[in-house]
Each structure stands twice: as C-alpha cells, then as structure tokens.
Amino acid sequence: MIDLELDDQHQDLVDMVREFAQEVVAPQSAQHDADHTFPYDIVKQMGQMGLFGLPISEEHGGSGGDYFHLALALEELGKVDQSVAITLEAGVSLGAMPIYRFGNEAQKQKWLPALATGERLAGFGLTEPGAGSDASAALTKAKLEDGHWVIDGAKEFITNSGTDITSHVTATAVTGVDEATGKKEISAIIVPTGTEGFTAEKAYNKVGWHASDTHPLSFNGARVPEENLLGERGRGYAYFLEILDEGRIAIAALATGAAQGCVDESVKYAKTRTSFGKTIGQYQSISFMIARMQSRAHAARLAYYAAAAKMLAGKDFKIEAAHAKLIASEAAMDNAREATQIFGGYGFMNETLVARHYRDSKILEIGEGTTQVQQMLIARGLGL
C-alpha cells in the first residue's frame, strides 16, 4: 500500500507555514491586493523562515530539503494569498532553480545564497510577445562581441523581474543556428539588474495577483560577460523545459491550496449565514456543492503528491506534472466560481478572499503552460 501520510518533518513544515499564512499573511492580503503593492515585509519573513531555500542544499545557502517541501509550503500559502504564493513559487522554481540545476559552481556561489534566503529575487525570461506556448519561436538574440553577450529583444509576463530586490533575470536568447538541423540555437544567459540596455518596463495592470510583481522586459544592446552563459551553449530551451516540468508541480500545489481555501471559506460561511430560518449549509444544494468542491481539492492534492513522488524518485514525471497542473488549476477555478456563488453578493466584493480567488485563479490555467499545453503533453504520452 502507498502511504500518503506526511512524516513528522513535512508535517512540521505544514504546521509552521499554515500558522504564518493564517496569522501574518491573511490579515494583510486584502490591503496589498487593493493597493497593488508588493509585500516586501512578508517576503523578508518568508526568507527568514527558510522558505526560499527549501529545495536548495545547505552548501549553497538553502535549507537542504526537497521540492515536495516547497510544494507543501505553496499549498498553505495558496489558501490565503495567491500573490504571496506565486512570489515564492517563481522566486524558487523559476528564479533560483535554473542556476541550482544548471549553473557552474562559480555561478551558484555568486547568486544562490541571496536567492535561497529571500534577500534577493530573480526572474525567468522565456515568454515573448510572439512566443508564448511555442517558446522555441523566440526572437530575442544574443551575439558574442569582445567577450560579452550583446542581447536584443523583449520578454513578456515575467514574474519577480522588477522588484527592489530583484538580482537578475535568466533569459533565453537565440545565439546561433544548429548547422546539423538548421534549427535555432537557444541559450540561457544571466542578465543582472542594472545592466545598461536591460529594462523592466512598467508593471502590468492585471486581473488578479495584484500583489505580485510582473513586467515586460526589453533588451537593447544589453551587454553581459561571456561567463554569464548558463550551462551549455544551445541548451537553454531544453533547460527551461525541465524547469517548467518542476514548476508545474509547484503551480499545482499552489492551485490545490487555492481550491482548498475556497472550500474552507465556504464551509465557514455556510455554517453562519442564515436564509429562511436555517444556515445555508443545511440546504442540500449548498452542502452538495461544497462536497464537490472538496473532492476537487482532494483529487488535485493527490495529483501533485504523485508527481512529486516520481520526481523525487528520479523517474520521468513529465506526464504526472501535466496531470497535476491540469487537475489542480481547473479545481481552483471551478471552486472559486462556486465559492463566489455560495457567498452571493458578498462574493462579488473584492475585500473577500473568495473574490480574490475568483480573480486570481484564472491565470493558473494559463501560466507555466496552458491547459491546452497540458492536454497536448498528456495526449502525446498516450501515443496520440
């Protein structure tokens, strides 16, 4: 039999993050959302708790845990504030992990200690104005010139790219053409904040995730040293596909938290809100709706647990990650819609958590691989 019970170490982490989420994050969420302000103090506290270093070795400034530790933390944060959760998710899986997975020792020593402690954040520059799901269609280019990469192009929708504590963005760029195949040679290059010619443009006015940091980026002759190449030349696209597979487990965990948060809020409301002389939870139409919501959250949790288990066992987990991302993101969106219905008029007020989940959850079906991309991966796994 498979044991899905958490061991003491993982449960202690869950308890710690749950307390922090409920007592520190939740009381501030509505204000940060309304003001569109980045929660620097919360990020600092998460860094002090070691959350940004969960899957990073102690040698490189991390906590020495694993990716499942990160996923569990994201689920708890996702229950109360998706903006805070995505800041952690992107800071680790998209900011730190490319360097941790593919960087040389000098790059790890230079960048990881500050990223693992949350003192600094980093972005993941893949998506472009004309290259979203098909990231291989990237047009951003980099050429070697006098020992430097000179980068020209643009990126879109880059999280954690313009904060006061952003250290760099790792960006993909076309660095040549593979002579054997004629295909673009795409490499990954570390571009520090403050590099001349590199600009984080005005932040987006988003539907949701108002307290997370997201910018378009422009590169106009941005010059960085040749040693800022991450890993092997021409392997950048492959690296980022691997990073996205891991990231889908993390996003699934966040989405599971959002789905469960909608359940938790709906249960509390259904026990206290009265209509026609009874609490609304006593009506089968409401109780059955919440039961269905709980089933979605449960299925999403099992899906990301399964994907994480295969990943940590060193097995191919691409399809399991796609399942988890698909199931959990749809659970979050469906539960947010039904929670809003249960809350009625109050669910349409932005200060309520279910309203924020309703606005926030849609991007979970888009970011780090759309629902359709996950379906494509699953279909390919079936031989279609």
In this structure, whether the domain defined by 8-121 belongs to CATH 3.40.50.720 is answered with no
Domain chopping of the chain, boundaries: 8-121, 123-234, 238-381
DSSP letter string, 336-362: HHHHHHHHGGGGGSTTSHHHHHHHHGG
Q: How many CA atoms lie within 13 A of 369 on its CB side?
A: 30
Contacts 24+ apart (CB under 8 A), 313-319: 317/245, 317/249, 318/245, 318/377, 318/381, 319/377, 319/378, 319/381
Would you tell me how many other CB atoms lie within 10 Å of the CB of residue 147?
9
**Phi/psi at 257 (5° precision):** -60, -45
Rg (CA), the chain: 21
Enumerate residue ranges in the chain where pLDDT < 50. 1
pLDDT recorded at residue 2: 59
In terms of phi and psi (left: phi > 0; alpha: psi -120 to 50; beta: otherwise), the region of 156 is: beta
SS3 267: helix
- Whether 368 sits among the annotated catalytic residues: the reply is yes
Specify the residue for token string 């891991």.
Answer: 246
What CATH number does domain 123-234 carry, 3.40.50.1010, 3.60.110.10, 1.10.10.10, 2.40.110.10?
A: 2.40.110.10
d(CA 211, CA 309): 31
Average pLDDT for the chain? 95
Of the residues 89, 156, 338, 368, only one is catalytic, namely: 368
pTM for the predicted model, two decimal places: 0.96
Q: Tokens for 329, please give them.
A: 């993101």
**Phi/psi at 275 (5° precision):** -155, 130
- 49 near 20, Cβ under 8 Å? yes
Q: Tokens for 133, please give them.
A: 């799901």
SS3 61: coil
Would you tell me how many other CB atoms lie within 10 Å of the CB of residue 351?
12
Beta-carbon contacts of residue 317 (< 8 Å; ≥ 6 apart): 245, 249, 307, 308, 310, 311
**Structural domain 238-381, CATH architecture:** Up-down Bundle (1.20)
